[in-house]
Amino acid sequence: MVGSPGLEADNIMLSQDETAICILDQSLLPNETCYLELKQPQELYEAIFSLRVRGAPAIGIFGAFALYVLAKQNSTLQDSDSFFQRCQQDRDYLNASRPTAVNLSKMLDRVLHKAKNLMHCGVSEMIEAMRQEAYAIQAEDIAMCQAISEYGLSLVQDGDGILTHCNAGPLATSRYGTALGPLFLGKERGITLHAWCDETRPLLQGARLTTYELQQAGIPCTLICDNMASLVMQNGTINACFVGCDRIARNGDTANKIL
C-alpha cells in the first residue's frame, strides 16, 4: 500500500472493507514510510494524540472516518437511542485526544449530526449517513486544496524561490495541501519553483515533513535553519513566502502558535 504522498489522497483512507482507517504514520517520517491500519478506539485516539496524523484538515478527515468506523462496530445496538448515545460517547472520546483542534470537533459534530437527524429511520440508515458525510468532508477538503493551489500558483512565476514554514502540504490535508499546494500544482504543469524550507523548531515539521513531501514529488528544495530565513530573503533568493497558519482573519491577518 505504498503510495506517493501528495499526488493522491492516500495519507488517510478507509480500508477496503471499511472496518478500519489506513494512515501514513507521520511520526516516523522521513526515516521510515509506514502505513498503519487502525480500528480500536484506543488506537484511533492515540494516532491523533501522538501526531501520527497531524494537520488541521487531516485531523478533521481522520476524525470523521474514525467516528464512522466506530459506529459500524456499534451496529449491534439496534435501538436508535442507544446507538446514538454510544456514538456521542465515541465522539467525546475522540475529541479529547486534541481538544484544541477545531477541525476535529467540527467534523466529529458534522458526522454525529447526520446520525441524529435519522434516528427515526433506524441504525443502518444512521450509519450510512455517517459514511456519506465522512466521504463528503474529505471531498470538500480536496476541492478547497485545489482552489487554494490554483490561487497561490497565480501569484508566482516560473523559477521563483518560495520560503516555507511549518508543514501545510498534502500530509496535513488531503491532496496538494494548502500553503504548499502551489508547488505541487506547479510541478504538474511544468512550472519550476524552488522551495526554501525553514526547519520549524521544535517539532521540525519543515525539516521532517515538508522536505519529505517535496522530494517525493521531485520538487527542488533546500532546508535551512529557522534563523537563516532573513538572510535568504536579503540575498534576493525569495520571491514569495507560503506558510501554514492556525487562523486566518477576514482581513487576511494570520496567526500560528509557537511551541
Q: Is residue 7 part of a domain?
A: no
Asked whether residue 27 is assigned to any structural domain, the reply reads: yes
pLDDT at 255 over 90: no
Residues 118 and 80 in one domain: yes
Domain end among 97, 121, 146: 146
% of the chain residues with pLDDT over 70 = 95
Query: Residue 88 maps to which CATH number?
Result: 1.20.120.420
So what's the pLDDT on residue 5? 42
Specify whether the CB–CB gap between 22 and 53 falls below 8 A: no
Pair (248, 164) in one structural domain: yes
Indicate the pLDDT class of residue 225, thresholds 50, 70 and 90.
Answer: very high
Q: Are 121 and 69 part of one and the same domain? A: yes
pLDDT class for 68, splitting at 50, 70, 90?
A: very high
- 246: annotated active-site residue: yes
Q: Is residue 136 part of a domain?
A: yes
pLDDT in tens, 119-147: 999 999 999 999 999 999 999 999 999 99
Residue that is last in its domain, among 146, 167, 188:
146
Same domain membership, residue 194 and residue 87: no
4 lies in some domain: no
**Do 69 and 176 share a domain, yes or no?**
no
Confidence of residue 243 (pLDDT cuts 50, 70, 90): confident
Report how far apart the first and last C-alpha atoms of the chain are (Å, whole number).
Answer: 34
- Please check whether residues 223 and 203 belong to one and the same domain: yes
The pLDDT of 102-110, averaged and rounded, is: 97
pLDDT bracket for residue 259 (50, 70, 90): low
Q: Is residue 52 located within the same domain as residue 124?
A: yes
Mean pLDDT of 154-167: 96
Chosen domain end from 131, 146, 161: 146
Residue with grid cell 500530509, as numbered in its chain: 171
CA distance 252 to 101: 21
H helix runs in 50-194, sequence order: 56-73, 80-95, 102-117, 123-153, 181-188
Number of domains composing the chain: 2
Sequence-distant (≥ 6) Cβ neighbours of residue 257 within 8 angstroms: 246
pLDDT of residue 210 exceeding 50, the answer is yes
Per annotation, catalytic residue among 10, 90, 246, 253: 246
Q: Are residues 110 and 157 in the same domain?
A: no
Confidence check: pLDDT of 2 > 60: no
Same domain, 188 and 250: yes
pLDDT of residue 258: 63
Residue 7 has pLDDT above 50, yes or no: no
- 125 and 189 assigned to the same domain: no
State whether 163 and 41 are in the same domain: no
Average pLDDT over residues 204-208: 94
Residue 6 counted as domain residue: no
Residue 3 has pLDDT above 80, yes or no: no
Give me the mean pLDDT over the 100-118 stretch.
Answer: 96
Residue 6: predicted pLDDT? 42
22 and 134 fall within a common domain: yes
Range of 26's domain?
12-146
Hey, what's the cell of 112?
454525529
Task: Verify cis geometry, omega within 30 degrees of 0, for the bond prior to 30.
Answer: yes
